[in-house]
C-alpha cells in the first residue's frame, strides 16, 4: 500500500459528515460573492449592453445618452482596456467585441450608482449594427464547413475490415442537445482597488488562478498585482471554470478606472443568454456485431457544437473521443472529432466534460441495435463490458475491469433485476396504456485532466502557537464538499480532532498557479497537497516530540490531539504543548504542500497514452413508467453502486452521486435548450432563457425509490487515503433512465424493432417514440432540433 493511500488507525477521513458549511447554508449566514456588497461603500453596479443580433458588425457605439442618465457613472468600452482586450486563453474572445458573434453578446458595460441606473443606462447606449449571415445549428455549420480548433482522430485496429466481416452492421445518425448549467448562483464578481493599485477580485470562479491571469492581462499588469478570492460558489458544474474570467475583468477594469468597488452580477436572463453551456453534439456511426452481440468495430464521426469561440471545446472533444467506448471493449475503432463554429454562446465545461457526450453515442446505439439483434439490452451491455487488462482505444489498460463486473452483478443482485423485470412484463401485459421498463447501464470514467500539466496542486498549512490549524489549498468549493474532505484529510494527517482545523477561503495570494477545480480531481490533487504539507509539519514536530519523550522521531505517533510513542511506556505529550515547545525551539510551524499525479503520459496529437490515473466505475438500474396517452413518465426506482475507492467522506460522496445522477437525468430527459432557428427577426435567440421555460429537475423528477451504495473493498492504490474521484462519473449513470424510457416506449409495440428516441427525451419525444413503436406506419415526428434520423441495418 502506498504512503499516499494508507490510512492511520481511526482516521477522520471516512466518517460521514455533513457539509462543513451546512449550518451556515441553512441559516443564510453563508456568504456568496454578491452577498459581500453590503459590507462595502460606494459600490457601482454593472449592466451589459447585449446585442439583439446573432451575427453583426458593430459600426458605431455612442454612449452620450447613457451617461446623461442620472446615476450612470461610466460606460466601459474597448477604448478603456489598457491591456489585452480578450477574455480567454485562446485569444479568440474579445472582451469588448467589434463583431457580435451570438444573440445577446455584450458589446459594452454600463456602471451605475444603482443597478436600476445601470440598467437604464444600458438601454440608452446607442449601437449601430450591420447584420451578417449566421449559423445556428450544428447541421448548418457542417454544411458550411464552419469548424474551429484542431480536429482529432482516435483509431485502433482495422475498422473497415471489421465492419466488412461483421455478421451485423448498423449505421445511424444522432444529434443531441447540450445543457445549461443553471447553477443557482449566477456569475458574480466584485472588484476593489487596494492600497498601491493592487486589485482584489471576489469572483464566483472554479479557476481563480486563470481568472487572475485574465484580469491581469486585461488590465495590462503582472499577475502579482491581482488577487482573486473565491469564498464559495452557489453551484458551478463546470460553468465557472472558464466563463467567469471576462466578468471579473470587466469588474476589475471598472474598479481601476473609477477607484470604486464594482459589482457585476448577472441576472438569470443575462447569465443564460451570455454564458456557455454543455456542448450539443452531432454524430454519425457504423457499428458491427458478431452473432453473439460482441462489438467488432465502430466507425464514428463526432461534431461538437462549440459555439462562437473555442473556450474549452478542444479538451471537451478529446474527452468525448476517449469515452465513446464507455465501459465496452471495442477492438477496432475509428472516431473522427471536430468542433463546429456556430453563432451561439461559447460552449464550455460541464460536469463530465465531453465524456457524457461520447458515451451517449455508444449507449444510444446499443439501445437502438439490441432489439434488432434479438438480444436483451441488459445482456448486450453485460456481454460487451471490458475484460481485465483489455486496453482502451487510446492504449490505457483497464486495470479494474473486474470492478465493472462486480458493480454490474451487485446491482443485478441487490436490485432484484430479474424478479422485477418479470413483474414488469406481467404489469405491461395487463396495462395497455401504461408501460414500465428497467434498464441497466455502466460507467467507466477516466480521472485526471487529459492535459497532463494540470495534474498538480498546492496547499498551505499553518499551525499557530495555540495549536490551532489553518489550511489553504488551491481548490474551490462549489457545493461538492471539497472543503469538508480537505478538513478531514488535514485532521487525519495531523492526528487532530476536526474541530482544531479551520479552512480559509481560496485565494491566489496563498496558493499560486492552481488548476481549475474540475475534472473530478479536486480532492485527489488538493487532498494530496494538503497531506504533503501536514506531513512536513508532522515530521518536524516528531523531531521535537522524540526529544521530549526520549524516543526516535520515527516512533512518534499523532492521534486525537495527543502525541505518543509506539510503546505506552514512552509517555505522551499534548498537541498544544508540543506546538508551543516547537515554537520555542524555532521550528517552522507551517508548510507549503505540493502534489503532482505520477504515471501520466499523453500524446494529444496521436490520441495515445495513459492520460488517466485510474477509472471511476459505476452501474445503475432505473425503472420508469410511461403513460401511453401523453408520453409522460415517472422514475420509479433507481439502484446505483459507485466505486469511490475508500470514501473520504461518505455522506458527501452519496450526495455527489445522487445529485450527479439527477442532473444527468435532467440533461437526458427534461432540459430543453431551444434556439430560434427560423429566418425570422429573432433568429439565433435562445428561446428557453428563463427558469420558466428551461425546466430543471424538481422534486417530481426525483426517483421515488433511490438506493445508492458505495462499492465496498474498493481501496485505490496511490490516491489520497485510498479514495477515488466522484464529482462527474455518476452523472452518466443517468443513461439508464433514457434507456429505460426507450424500453418502455418499445413495450407499446410488438417488439423486435429499433426504437429511436430524441435527446432530451421529453414527454413529447417519448410520445413520438412510443407512437411509432405501436403504430409503425405513422408519419415521422415533426422536425425537431434533436430528432434522430433513420437507422438502417446492413446485410
Partner 1 sequence: MSTPSTTEAPTIPCVTVNGEQAPLTDASAHTTALDWLRGRGLTGAKEGCAEGECGACSILVARPGVDAETEWTAVNACLIPVAALDGQEVVTGEGLGSSGDLHPVQRELAVRGGSQCGYCTPGFVCSLAAEFYRPGRTADVADAADAADAEAKRCDHEHGPNGVDLHALSGNLCRCTGYRPIRDAAYALGAPADDDALAARRQAPPPQPRATRLAVDGAEYVRPATLPEALTLLSERPEAQVVAGSTDWGVEVNIRGRRAPLVVAVDRLPELRSLTIGDDVIEIGAALTLTEIERRLAGRVPLLAELFPQFASRLIRNGATLGGNIGTGSPIGDAPPALLALDADVVLASPRGERVVPLADYFTGYRQTVRAADELIRGVRIPVPLAPIVGFHKIAKRRFDDISSVAVAFALEVADGHVVRARIGLGGVAATPLRAVATEQELLGRPWTEETVRSAAAVLAGEGTPMDDHRASAAYRTAMLGQSLLRLFHTHPETQVVPA
d(CA 286, CA 787): 18
The residue from 8, 25, 132, 709 that contacts partner 1 (CB under 8 A) is: 25
Output b/e per residue, 396-432; b: 16+ Cβ within 10 A: bebebbebbbbbbebbbeebebeebbeebeeebeeee
Site string for partner 1, 410-449 (x = CB under 8 A): -----------------------x----------------
CB closer to partner 1, 286 vs 786:
786
* Length, in residues, of the chain: 795
Of residues 237 through 266, those in contact with partner 1 by CB under 8 A are 237
Which one among 7, 105, 168, 232 touches partner 1, defined by CB under 8 A? 232
- Exactly one of 220, 291, 629, 751 binds partner 1 (CB under 8 A); that residue is 629
Q: Contacts with partner 1 in 726-755 (CB under 8 A)?
A: none
Residues 461-480 close enough to bind partner 1 by CB under 8 A: 478-480
Please report, as residue ranges, which positions from 504 to 543 form the binding site for partner 1 (by CB under 8 A).
Answer: none
Give me the sheet containing 590-596, strands edge to edge. Answer: 501-503, 469-473, 456-463, 590-596
Question: Segment contacting partner 1 (CB under 8 A): 56-64, 514-522, 555-563, 661-669?
Answer: 661-669
Q: What ranges in 585-619 are assigned the alpha helix state H?
A: none
Cα 205 from Cα 203, distance rounded (Å): 5
Query: Which positions from 161 through 200 interact with partner 1, judged by CB under 8 A?
Result: 181-186
Q: Are 113 and 65 in contact (CB under 8 A)?
A: no
**Least distance CB 721 / partner 1 (angstroms):** 20
Question: x/- binding map, residues 63-102, to partner 1, per CB under 8 A?
Answer: ----------------------------------------
Nearest to 439 by CA among 652, 665, 720, 266: 665
| Min separation Cβ 123 and partner 1, Å | 8
Among 8, 15, 22, 57, binds partner 1 (CB under 8 A): 22
Q: How far is the CB of 760 from partner 1 (least distance, A)?
A: 9
Catalytic residues: 728
Nearest to 734 by CA among 615, 616, 617, 621: 621
Contacts of partner 1 in 96-155 (CB under 8 A): 119, 123
- DSSP-assigned beta bridge partners for residue 436: 625
Interface residue with partner 1 among 458, 481, 645, 727 (CB under 8 A) is 481
Q: Can residue 654 be called a binding residue for partner 1 (CB under 8 A)?
A: yes
Number of residues binding to partner 1, judged by CB under 8 A: 83
Q: 350 vs 558, which CB is nearer to partner 1?
A: 350
State in angstroms the smallest separation of the CB of 469 from partner 1: 21
> Given candidates 11, 48, 234, 565, which one binds partner 1 under the rule CB under 8 A?
234
Q: Is 658 in the site for partner 1 (CB under 8 A)?
A: yes
- Rule CB under 8 A: choose which of 57, 90, 268, 383 binds partner 1: 268
Instruction: Restricting to residues 677-706, name those near partner 1 by CB under 8 A.
Output: 687-688, 690-693, 695-706
Among the listed ranges 27-35, 399-407, 487-495, 740-748, the one in contact with partner 1 (CB under 8 A) is: 27-35
Binds partner 1 by CB under 8 A, chosen from 414, 585, 630, 793: 630
Q: What one-character DSSP code corresponds to residue 182? A: -
Nearer to partner 1, 548 or 709 (CB): 709
- Choices 149-157, 335-343, 543-551, 649-657 (CB under 8 A): range interacting with partner 1: 649-657
Q: Which is nearer to partner 1, 548 or 707 (CB)?
A: 707
Beta strands in 30-132 (DSSP E): 44-50, 56-62, 72-76, 99-100, 106-112, 126-131
Longest CA pairwise span in the chain (Å): 89
* β 557-559/562-564 pair status: antiparallel
Helix axes 650-669, 735-747, angle to 10 degrees: 40
C-alpha–C-alpha distance, residues 301 and 335, integer Å: 6
27 interacts with partner 1 by CB under 8 A: yes
CB of 569 to partner 1, least distance (A): 42
- Shortest Å, Cβ 762 to partner 1: 5
**Partners of 153 in the beta sheet?**
336
235 versus 553: smaller Cβ distance to partner 1: 235
| C-alpha distances out from residue 382 to 292, 329, 388, 439, 639, Å | 12, 11, 14, 12, 16
Q: Which of 546, 655, 684, 729 binds partner 1 (CB under 8 A)?
A: 655
557 is an interface residue for partner 1 by CB under 8 A: no
Is position 29 an interface residue for partner 1 (rule: CB under 8 A)? yes
Long-range contacts for 680-685 (Cβ within 8 Å, ≥24 apart)?
A: 682/103, 683/54, 683/103, 683/134, 683/136, 684/53, 684/54, 684/55, 684/102, 684/103, 684/134, 684/136, 684/343, 684/344, 685/54, 685/103, 685/104
Closer to partner 1 by Cβ: residue 136 or 159? 136
Question: Could you say which residues in the range 350-379 bind partner 1, by CB under 8 A?
Answer: none
Q: Which of residues 751-780 bind partner 1 (CB under 8 A)?
A: 762-764, 767-768, 771
Question: Which of 267, 499, 543, 775 lies at the binding interface for partner 1 (CB under 8 A)?
Answer: 267
- Torsion sign across C-alpha atoms 401, 402, 404, 409: positive
Residues between 274 and 313 that touch partner 1 (CB under 8 A): none
* Distance set, CA 433 to CA 653, 667, 729, 747, 751 (Å): 39, 26, 35, 10, 16
Of 129 and 768, the one with the shorter C-beta distance to partner 1 is 768
Least CB distance to partner 1 at residue 528 (A): 23
CB of 696 to partner 1, least distance (A): 5
Q: With contact defined as beta carbons under 8 Å apart, do 183 and 348 qualify?
A: no
639 binds partner 1 (CB under 8 A): no
- Give the sign of the dihedral formed by CA 111, CA 349, CA 155, CA 452: positive
Q: Which three cell numbers stand for residue 568?
A: 505506552
Q: Of 325, 321, 361, which Cα lies nearest the Cα of 338? A: 321
Output the smallest distance, CB 348 to partner 1, in A: 16
381 and 366 Cβ atoms separated by less than 8 Å: yes
**Host H or E run for residue 655:** helix 650-669
Out of 163, 199, 233, 534, point to the residue binding partner 1 (CB under 8 A). 233
What are the distances in angstroms from CA 57 to CA 130, 272, 311, 409?
Answer: 5, 23, 21, 59
Minimum separation from the CB atom of position 119 to partner 1 (A):
7
19 vs 279 by CB, closer to partner 1: 19
Binding segment toward partner 1, per CB under 8 A, in 16-24, 102-110, 161-169, 221-229: 16-24
Q: Is 703 helix (H, G, I), strand (E, B) or coil?
A: coil
Question: Rule CB under 8 A: is residue 28 a binding residue for partner 1?
Answer: yes
Minimum CB distance to partner 1 smaller for 518 or for 654: 654
Whether 650 contacts 254, CB under 8 Å? no
Q: What phi and psi, each to the nearest 5 degrees, are found at residue 22?
A: -55, -45
In the complex, minimum distance from the CB of residue 693 to partner 1, in angstroms, rounded to a whole number: 6
To the nearest whole angstrom, how small is the minimum distance from the Cβ of residue 703 to partner 1? 8
Which of 269, 390, 468, 536 forms a contact with partner 1 (CB under 8 A)? 269
Shortest gap between Cβ of 732 and partner 1 (angstroms)?
14
* 453 burial type by CB count under 10 A (0-12 exposed, 13-18 middle, 19+ buried): exposed
Amino acid at each position: 500500500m502506498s504512503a499516499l493511500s494508507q490510512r492511520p488507525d481511526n482516521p477522520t477521513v471516512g466518517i460521514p459528515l455533513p457539509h462543513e458549511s451546512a449550518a451556515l447554508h441553512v441559516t443564510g449566514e453563508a456568504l456568496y460573492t454578491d452577498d459581500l456588497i453590503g459590507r462595502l461603500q460606494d459600490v457601482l453596479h454593472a449592466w451589459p449592453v447585449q446585442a439583439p443580433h446573432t451575427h453583426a458588425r458593430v459600426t458605431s457605439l455612442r454612449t452620450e445618452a447613457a451617461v446623461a442618465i442620472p446615476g450612470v457613472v461610466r460606460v466601459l468600452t474597448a477604448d478603456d482596456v489598457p491591456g489585452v482586450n480578450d477574455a480567454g486563453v485562446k485569444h479568440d474572445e474579445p472582451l469588448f467585441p467589434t463583431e457580435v458573434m451570438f444573440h445577446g453578446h455584450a458589446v459594452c458595460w454600463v456602471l451605475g450608482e444603482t443597478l436600476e441606473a445601470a440598467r437604464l443606462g444600458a438601454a440608452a447606449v446607442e449601437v449601430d449594427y450591420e447584420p451578417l449571415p449566421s449559423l445556428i445549428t450544428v447541421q448548418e455549420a457542417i454544411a458550411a464547413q464552419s469548424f474551429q480548433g484542431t480536429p482529432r482522430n482516435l483509431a485502433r485496429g482495422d475498422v473497415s475490415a471489421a465492419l466488412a466481416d461483421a455478421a451485423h452492421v448498423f449505421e445511424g445518425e444522432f444529434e443531441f442537445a447540450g445543457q445549461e448549467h443553471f447553477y443557482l448562483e449566477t456569475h458574480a464578481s466584485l472588484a476593489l482597488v487596494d492600497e498601491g493599485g493592487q486589485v482584489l477580485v471576489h469572483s464566483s470562479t472554479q479557476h481563480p488562478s486563470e481568472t487572475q491571469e485574465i484580469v491581469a492581462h486585461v488590465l495590462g499588469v503582472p499577475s502579482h498585482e491581482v488577487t482573486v478570492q473565491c469564498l464559495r460558489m452557489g453551484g458551478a458544474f463546470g460553468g465557472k471554470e472558464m466563463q467567469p474570467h471576462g466578468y471579473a475583468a470587466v469588474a476589475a477594469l471598472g474598479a481601476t478606472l473609477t477607484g470604486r468597488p464594482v459589482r457585476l452580477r448577472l441576472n438569470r436572463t443575462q447569465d443564460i443568454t451570455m454564458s456557455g453551456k454543455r456542448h450539443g453534439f452531432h454524430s454519425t456511426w457504423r457499428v458491427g456485431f458478431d452473432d453473439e452481440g460482441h462489438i467488432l468495430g465502430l466507425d464514428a464521426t463526432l461534431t461538437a457544437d462549440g459555439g462562437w469561440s473555442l473556450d474549452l471545446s478542444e479538451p471537451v472533444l478529446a474527452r468525448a473521443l476517449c469515452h465513446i467506448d464507455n465501459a465496452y471493449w471495442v477492438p477496432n475503432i475509428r472516431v473522427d472529432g471536430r468542433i463546429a463554429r456556430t453563432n451561439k454562446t461559447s460552449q464550455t465545461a460541464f460536469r463530465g466534460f465531453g465524456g457524457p457526450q461520447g458515451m451517449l453515442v455508444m449507449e444510444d446505439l446499443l439501445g437502438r441495435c439490441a432489439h434488432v439483434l434479438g438480444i436483451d439490452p441488459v445482456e448486450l451491455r453485460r456481454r460487451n463490458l471490458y475484460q481485465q487488462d483489455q486496453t482502451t482505444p487510446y492504449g490505457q489498460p483497464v486495470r479494474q475491469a473486474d470492478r465493472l463486473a462486480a458493480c454490474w452483478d451487485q446491482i443485478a443482485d441487490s436490485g432484484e433485476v430479474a424478479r422485477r423485470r418479470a413483474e414488469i412484463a406481467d404489469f405491461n401485459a395487463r396495462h395497455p396504456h401504461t408501460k414500465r421498463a428497467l434498464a441497466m447501464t455502466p460507467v467507466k470514467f477516466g480521472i485526471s485532466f487529459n492535459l497532463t500539466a494540470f495534474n498538480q496542486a498546492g496547499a498551505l498549512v499553518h499551525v499557530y502557537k495555540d495549536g490551532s490549524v489553518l489550511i489553504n489549498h488551491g481548490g474551490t468549493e462549489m457545493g461538492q464538499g471539497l472543503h469538508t474532505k480537505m478538513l478531514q484529510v488535514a485532521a487525519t494527517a495531523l492526528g487532530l480532532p476536526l474541530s482544531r482545523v479551520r479552512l480559509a477561503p481560496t485565494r491566489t495570494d496563498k496558493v499560486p498557479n492552481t488548476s481549475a477545480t474540475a475534472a473530478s480531481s479536486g480532492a485527489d490533487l488538493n487532498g494530496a497537497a494538503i497531506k504533503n504539507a501536514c506531513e512536513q509539519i508532522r515530521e518536524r514536530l516528531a523531531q521535537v516530540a522524540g526529544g521530549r519523550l526520549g524516543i526516535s522521531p520515527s516512533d512518534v505517533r499523532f492521534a486525537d490531539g495527543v502525541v505518543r510513542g509506539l510503546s505506552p511506556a514512552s509517555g505522551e505529550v499534548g498537541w498544544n504543548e508540543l506546538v508551543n515547545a516547537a515554537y520555542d525551539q524555532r521550528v517552522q510551524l507551517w508548510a507549503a504542500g505540493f502534489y503532482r499525479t505520477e504515471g501520466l503520459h499523453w500524446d494529444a496529437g496521436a490520441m495515445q497514452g495513459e492520460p488517466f490515473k485510474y477509472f471511476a466505475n459505476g452501474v445503475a438500474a432505473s425503472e420508469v413508467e410511461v403513460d401511453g396517452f401523453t408520453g409522460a413518465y415517472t422514475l420509479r426506482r433507481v439502484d446505483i453502486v459507485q466505486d469511490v475507492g475508500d470514501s473520504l467522506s461518505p455522506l458527501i460522496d452519496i450526495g455527489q452521486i445522487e445529485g450527479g445522477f439527477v442532473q444527468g437525468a435532467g440533461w437526458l430527459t427534461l432540459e430543453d435548450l431551444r434556439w430560434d432557428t427560423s429566418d425570422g427577426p429573432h433568429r439565433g435567440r435562445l428561446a428557453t432563457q428563463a427558469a420558466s421555460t428551461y425546466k430543471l429537475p424538481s422534486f417530481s423528477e426525483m426517483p421515488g425509490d433511490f438506493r445508492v451504495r458505495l462499492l465496498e473493498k474498493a481501496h485505490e492504490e496511490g490516491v489520497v487515503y485510498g479514495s477515488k474521484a466522484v464529482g462527474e462519473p455518476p452523472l452518466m449513470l443517468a443513461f439508464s433512465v433514457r434507456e429505460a424510457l426507450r424500453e418502455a416506449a418499445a413495450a407499446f409495440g410488438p417488439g423486435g424493432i429499433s426504437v429511436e428516441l430524441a435527446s432530451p427525451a421529453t414527454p413529447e419525444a417519448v410520445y413520438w417514440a412510443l407512437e411509432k413503436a405501436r403504430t409503425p406506419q405513422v408519419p415521422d415526428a415533426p422536425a425537431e432540433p434533436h430528432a434522430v434520423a433513420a437507422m438502417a441495418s446492413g446485410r
